[in-house]
Chain A
Amino acid sequence: MRVLVTGASGLLGGAVAAEIARRGHEVTTFQRRPSGVAGVADLLGSVTEPGDVARAVAGQDAIVHLAAKVSLAGDPADFTLVNVGGTYALLQAAKAAGVGRFVFVSSPSVAHTGDSIIGDDATPADPAHARGDYARTKAEAELLALAADDERMPVVAVRPHLVWGPGDTQLVARIVDRARSGRLPLLGHGAALIDTIYLDNAATGIAAALDRAPEVHGKAYVLTNGEPRPVAELIGGICRAAGVAPPEWRVPAGVARTAGAAVEAVWRVAPGEDEPPMTRFLAEQLSTAHWFDQRRTRAELEWQPEVSLDEGLRRLAEWYSSAPGGSRD
């Protein structure tokens, strides 16, 4: 198949482009910067430019759409423009060009209203209750994508949860940097169970959704390793892999419940700084349970994560120890 992967200059987009190419498909990537992925053709452009989009989709058999605005800063209208408008434009262009399948890469945050998630399967995207501009606009975009599903162009939504791995500048690098500089005092007992997904597994999962699109179209799937762990263990494991002492977890007197707000204060970034969405949403992620029922995902996508959490941490440690100076900032 000829497959267009959008947003391939990001960590996950790059891994997805590489994985699909490895499976023997002819991959073109589409984003503003070069993807840096070997064996694929880069087409530079923006999903908000109709001309760029039309050029990109021409002649493609399938589209895997990851491009999105994920940064913290910015006008809510920008999120709508890129995440909703870009997705809409891409869907329209794809239909017009006769593209045969469409995988929308989403996020579990599209259906997350702030409560603990304890073994739930994917529930419908809910823009009205999604938390923050990123989640809201991704939710709207997912609804648009699934509404575009039909016989001629099957659409699948996949929602990888907390992707991490070597080279990750979001979750992993931030934890390691702050722990190294002693700026990672964590509040609470750290026992909230969090499921994550190792980068390679997210890539194979998205590729599986592409393969299975004709059979499973119109549905949304959460992708995780299926190995929930207490958040303290995850952060501790990441720190140890990077050769940094894990942070102390403290339960200060008077903090009755692990406070999302308190964790948020730790993660808060200065306004104007273009940062990943390490906001209240992520703070909540780190203080309440977030793990999913993966039975339907695995059965219907015919997919299993190949890299276990422990193996992922081992690979992360290997990557840190091979990196000059141990830092890959």
Chain B
Amino acid sequence: MSRRLPATPRSAATVPPPGLPGLDPRFSRLVDDGEATWHVLDTGAVLAEHGVEPVGTVLCVHGNPTWSYLWRRFAEQATDAALRGGPAWRVVAVDQLEMGFSERTGERRPLARRVADLGRLTDALGLAGPVVTFGHDWGGVVSLGWAVDHPELLAGVMLLNTAIHQPEGVPIPAPLRLALAPGVLPRGTVATPAFLETTLALASPPLPTDVRNAYRAPYRGSDRRGGIGAFVADIPVGPEHESFAELERIAAGVRALDVPALFVWGPRDPIFSDRYLDDLIDRMPHADVHRFEGAGHLVAEDADYAGVALAWLDERLPDGALSEAASGASHRGAPGIDRAEDPSHVRRPLWHHLDERADSDELALAELAPPTGPAPRRISWRLLSRRVHELAAGLVAAGVRPGDRVSLLVPPGADLTAALYACLRIGAVVVVADAGLGVQGLTRAVRGAYPHHVLGAVPGLTAARALGWPGRRISTATLPAASRRLLGVDHSFGELVALGRGRELPPEPAAGALAAVLFTSGSTGPAKGVRYTHAQLEGVRDVLAAQYGIGPGTGLVAGFAPFALLGPALGARSAAPDMDVTAPATLTARAVAAAAREVDATALFLSPAAVANVLATEQALGADERAALGGIRLMLSAGAPLSPTLLEGAAGLLPNASVHTPYGMTEGLLMTDVSLETIRDAATSGEEGVCVGTPAANVQVRISALDDDGRAVGELSDRPHVTGEIVVSAPHVKSGYDRLWFTDRAAVAGTPDDERWHRTSDVGHFDAEGRLWVEGRLPHVVVTAHGVVTPVGVEQRVETVPDVRRAALAAVGPRGTQHCVVVLETVAGVSQPRLAPADLASAVRTAAGLPVAAVLVVPALPTDIRHNSKIDRTRLSRWAEDVLAGGRMTAP
């Protein structure tokens, strides 16, 4: 195939024209390296002018077809931070030769030459180190080449979307295949600005015209665009390509880099997808990663990459050098919190009971509606243990390695239980995102976690195929050859079990090894992956055992998937009732009773939505079914607060049960516990919010008080009647967010370095008896001119108005002078959103007890998909602000 490109006429380097938006002309300079002249942005002179001595240099290398303009915000923010007295990083952002405003020499510059070019420039600049490289796109490769060649200067590497390796057997991204096609390359990249325009179009939100024009500025006319085409032609698509060897050399060299690394990624990139991020993580497992969900290839335009990079430099390389404390900061840990590190703690892995009872014929699992047919499936400990062992060994034999990520797209039941324990046992990391995220949310979650294997039933595999999720495919069922091909399935459970039979298992994973990535509900922004180690999952099991006495001898009916999986870890015999797990609100009382009878149930776990339907179908129960429910001593409803009405109803249905509704979140599944008795008792106390009881076993709860601006800045405290962010610590709190370094940092800000805490983003307070009251979400706090308002108390008072079914507090206006707006669902209902009638508005204002600017009635409040109960007040506030500004009265 011909890659011949027209020769580019020579032209000298220049500085950019004045007036490009956001570009400080003081940074532009020309540097002659003896062979050619470069245009670079260099903040060194401005720093020197202010007498600021840099701690090091960040060497920024743009990709194709951009130029150093890409780094303008980083240069500006780094300089601002330095002049404010922060650590001073000099920024040197180059225009690569033949690109931007650097010289057009007319010469070919394959990768190896570009790496050498950059080295010649840094020699000419006399860069002494420490140097942190920062690259984007193919500039990432060039910057890593420089990094590999300059270990004596290198202090760290930072990357935006890039790639250094094309996995074998994987086609290169379609847009590049097209750009490289014969005939397309010269026309698409040089003769016309098509490649440039396509790249600029990748920004999300779209770039303002003046910024677009700034990117175009050095590439006006085909004479200026030779470098763009040459760059595309230099993509080593195969071993025969002249740059292939250099790329391989760099890719291998990167594996040996042990400096701190930061990868900032925009996942909406048709070229550098998460596949390449995963490859980079594999090469530099110690790297900090932050994915900006929603950002794309031009992440430098789409997101605050500069803020993340500067925060990261502060934390990992304070004063330019690697700090001892900083190097361990990603493993914030936990004397006294992580009992894995406590020598007196005897670790019991999650599969402890599977090993202990490998020869027991007692019942371990009962599945009331198994995929195998209508009859209940009963599985003994012996069978479950053997199945897990064989499956685990089979997975290893099929190439699943410790640390590999496995997405489980299997409905709750025996298959999922076996798959989960098999993966955990061999040190694979299970990725669990439930259907409650919706297809889009689930796709984002799975893509972000980038599983190496997808283990699924047919519906899950079909979705994986249709939505282009990554990972090798393993099917729970043995499929006909045609289906296998269609779904891209490599193995089935049956084959793996056969493969694993008689094989030894690998060594057990360490307590501190990553075990699972669980996804949040996404009720407050895109779902986040939450990382759990084995020790932390063992902590979840232990808190359930300690708080509720669940263990061997317990008969557990689990209508709530996360807890259903813990049955074998707890040593309890567990039953999954006949239900559609994607629609918990369809669980019937009879289905619960049937499951209860099967395991002689003493404990029942349900989601709030399921509780409502179980109570609604209570009349259908016969006397023997009621008797089976009579054995239940404990009922737990987790996931969202349960209304007192439902709690009372549950207590009526289960006459011998203590009814509990614990408080927790994906990041810490059980933080406090409250019983119906406590809730009854608390109802008369006049406190604001929802009473969620007292801290569960092994849990510490503190409050970080809100200031007048509604920011949670207070020292952690357990003083009563102080409203602030709820901050928790426990052995079973998450280890961090997955590939969200910046978010992770925010979630532990202001907490002790040597303990693992989590800022919940919930606000609340303790009462004088030490009970915790949740008052809403931190982002939903309203900051008025008269003070801070938390939502739940107001909503509860408004909900005492007879016509009101459900109320939500929204806010309009700038923070600090916001006004409260109440949005209602009424008992009678409305078909269109509207202002509340005068008498209702008046009753709501009286009940609210604080100034309310407007009362609006809507057909339905926006809620999360998973629980249909968490109101999205942020979205509601945006809607209210538009409507109350005179905009269209649409549905929120």
Could you say which residues of chain B place their CB within 8 Å of the CB of A288? 885-886
In angstroms, how far is the closest chain B Cβ from the Cβ of A278?
A: 18
* A70 CB within 8 Å of chain B: no
Per the bound structure, the CA–CA distance linking A246 and B835 in Å amounts to: 14
Is A169 at the interface (CB under 8 A from chain B)? no
- Contact across chains for B835 and A293 when beta carbons are under 8 A apart: no
Q: Contacting chain A: which of B296-304, B581-589, B811-819?
A: B811-819
CA distance A250 to B233 in the complex (A): 63
- Complex alpha-carbon distance, A53 and B105, angstroms: 78
A128 to chain B, nearest CB (A): 24
Known: A258-B886, A291-B813. A193 touches B834 (CB 8 A): no
Cβ of B817 and Cβ of A192 under 8 Å apart? no
Bound form: Cα–Cα A236–B836 in Å: 12
Q: Is the Cβ of B883 less than 8 Å from the Cβ of A191?
A: yes
B878 to chain A, nearest CB (A): 12
Query: Taking CB as reference atom, which chain A residue is nearest B889?
Result: A189
Give the contact stretch, choosing among A147-155, A177-185, A223-231. A223-231
B648 on interface, CB distance cutoff 8 Å: no
Asked if A193 and B812 sit within 8 Å, CB to CB, the answer is yes
Q: Tell me the nearest residue of chain B to A249, going by C-beta.
A: B835
A257-B886, A258-B886, A289-B886 are known contacts. Are A295 and B816 too (CB-CB below 8 A)?
A: yes
Q: Which listed residue (A119, A233, A256) contacts B818, Cβ 8 A?
A: A119
- A289 — nearest CB in chain B belongs to which residue? B885
* Most chain A Cβ neighbours within 10 Å, of B834, B838, B887, B889: B887
Task: Please tell me if the beta carbons of A116 and B812 are within 8 angstroms of each other in the complex.
Answer: no
Pick the residue among B785, B818, B835, B853 that contacts A190 (CB under 8 A): B835
Residues of B near A293 (CB, < 8 A) are: 785, 813-814, 816-817
Q: Tell me the count of chain B residues lying within 8 A, CB to CB, of chain A.
A: 24
Q: Does chain B have a CB within 8 A of A312? A: no
B889 / chain A contacts, CB cutoff of 8 Å: 189, 191, 251
Interface hits, B778-831 → A, CB 8 Å: 785, 812-814, 816-819
Looking at the complex, which one of B817, B838, B854, B856 makes contact with A295 (CB distance below 8 Å)?
B817
CB-based contact B884/A256 at 8 Å: no
State whether the Cβ of A287 lies closer than 8 Å to any Cβ in chain B. Answer: yes
- Most chain B CB within 10 A, of A119, A240, A258, A294, is at A119
B785 and A116: CB pair below 8 A?
no
A145 at the interface (CB under 8 A from B): no
**Which B residues are CB-close (under 8 A) to A232?**
835
Chain A residues within an 8 Å CB radius of B883:
189, 191
CB-CB < 8 A to A294: which residues of B?
785, 817
| Cα-based distance from A77 to B841 in the complex (angstroms) | 47
Task: Determine whether the beta carbon of A229 is less than 8 Å from that of B785.
Answer: no
Q: Does B851 sit at the interface, judged by CB under 8 A?
A: yes
Minimal Cβ-Cβ distance residue in A for B856: A191
CB proximity of B709 to chain A, nearest CB, Å: 12
CB distance from B333 to the nearest CB of A (A): 44
Interface flags for B833-844 (1: CB within 8 Å of A; 0: not) read 011001001000
Q: Is B50 an interface residue (CB 8 A)?
A: no
Is A265 among interface residues, defined by CB-CB distance under 8 A?
Answer: no
Looking at chain A, what size class is its interface with the partner chain?
Answer: 20 to 34
- In the complex, the number of residue pairs spanning A and B with C-beta atoms less than 8 Å apart equals 83
Kindly list chain B residues whose C-beta atoms are within 8 Å of the C-beta of A240. 838
By the criterion CB–CB under 8 Å, are B785 and A227 in contact? no
B26 within 8 A of partner (CB): no
Neighbouring A residues of B817 by C-beta, 8 Å: 119, 293-295
Chain A residues near B345: list those with CB within 8 A.
Answer: none
Residues in B with CB closer than 8 Å to A237 are 838
Q: Which residues of A lie under 8 Å from residue B223 when comparing CB positions?
A: none
B817 → chain A, closest Cβ, in Å?
4
A144 touches B (CB below 8 Å): no
Chain B residues closer than 8 Å to A58, beta-carbon distance: none
- Please tell me if the beta carbons of A228 and B814 are within 8 angstroms of each other in the complex: no
A257 and B854 in contact, given A119-B813, A119-B818 (Cβ under 8 angstroms): no
Q: CA–CA, A246 to B817, complex, Å?
A: 30
Whether B838 lies near A118 (C-beta < 8 A) is no
In the assembled complex, the Cα of A327 lies from the Cα of B435 at a distance in Å of 65
Does residue B242 face the partner (Cβ distance < 8 Å to A)?
Answer: no
On chain A, the residues within 8 Å of B885 by CB distance are 116, 118, 192-193, 288-289
Say whether B814 contacts A119, CB under 8 Å.
yes
Given contacts A258-B886, A293-B814, contact A233 B785 (CB under 8 A): no
Q: Tell me if A188 counts as interface (CB < 8 A to partner B).
A: yes
Taking a contact as CB atoms closer than 8 A, the residue among B838, B853, B888 that contacts A193 in the complex is B853
B-contact bits for A186-205, CB 8 A (1 contact / 0 none):
00111111000000000000
Which residues of B lie under 8 Å from residue A287 when comparing CB positions? 886
Residue of A nearest to B883 (CB): A191
Complex interface residues of chain A between 236 and 287 (CB less than 8 A to chain B) = 236-237, 240, 246, 251, 256-258, 287
Q: Across the interface, do B814 and A118 meet the contact criterion of CB distance under 8 Å?
A: yes
- Report the nearest B residue to A119, measured CB to CB: B813
Find out whether the CB atom of B887 lies under 8 angstroms from the CB atom of A118.
no
Q: Are B813 and A188 in contact (CB under 8 A)?
A: no
Closest to B851 in A: A227
Question: Does the CB pair B835–A233 fall under 8 Å?
Answer: yes
Distance between Cα atoms of A64 and B816 in the complex (Å): 32
Q: Which of B816, B818, B835, B851 is close to A191, meaning CB atoms less than 8 Å apart?
A: B835
- Measured CB to CB, the nearest residue on chain B to A299 is B785
In chain A, positions 124-148 with a C-beta closer than 8 Å to chain B are none
Asked if B33 is an interface residue, CB under 8 A from chain A, the answer is no
When the two chains form the complex, which single residue of A116, A118, A193 contacts B854, counting CB atoms closer than 8 Å?
A193
Interface membership of B293, Cβ < 8 A: no
Complex Cα distance, B785 from A293, in Å, reads 8
Bitwise, B375-412 to A at CB < 8 A (1) or not (0) is: 00000000000000000000000000000000000000
Closest chain-A Cβ to B892's Cβ sits at a distance in Å of 13
Taking CB atoms, residues of chain A closer than 8 Å to B818 are 119
In the assembled complex, the Cα of A116 lies from the Cα of B887 at a distance in Å of 10
Name the residue in B813, B841, B885, B889 with the highest tally of chain A Cβ atoms < 10 Å from its Cβ.
B885
* Interface check B881, CB cutoff 8 A: yes
Closest-CB distance, A116 to chain B (whole angstroms): 4
CB of A284, distance to nearest CB on chain B (Å): 9
Closest B residue to A260 by CB, please name it.
Answer: B886
Closest chain B residue, CB of each to CB of A246? B838
| Cα distance A236–B841 in the bound complex, in angstroms | 12
**B 747-803 contacts with A by CB, 8 A:** 785
CB distance from B490 to the nearest CB of A (A): 54
Q: Which residue of the partner chain A has the closest CB to B785?
A: A295
Q: How far is the CB of B115 from chain A (nearest CB, A)?
A: 53
Please encode chain A, from 110 to 130, with 1 for each CB lying within 8 Å of some chain B CB and 0 for all others.
000000101110000000000
**Are A230's CB and B854's CB within 8 A?**
yes
| Residue of A whose beta carbon sits closest to that of B838 | A236
Q: How far is the CB of B673 from chain A (nearest CB, A)?
A: 42
A189 to B888, CA, bound (A): 8
List residues of chain A with CB within 8 A of the CB of B819: 119, 193, 228, 291
Known interface pairs A189-B889, A256-B888, A257-B886; A230-B835 also in contact (CB < 8 Å): yes
In the complex, 14 of the A-B residue pairs with CB atoms within 8 angstroms, ordered by the A residue number, are A116-B885, A119-B813, A119-B817, A188-B886, A189-B835, A191-B886, A193-B885, A227-B851, A227-B853, A228-B853, A232-B835, A251-B889, A289-B885, A291-B853
| Chain A residues within 8 Å of B, Cβ to Cβ | 116, 118-120, 188-193, 226-230, 232-233, 236-237, 240, 246, 251, 256-258, 287-289, 291, 293-295, 298
The 3 closest A-B pairs by CB, nearest first: A119-B813, A288-B886, A192-B886
Apart from A233-B838, A294-B785, list 5 A-B contacts with CB within 8 A: A190-B835, A228-B854, A230-B835, A294-B817, A295-B785
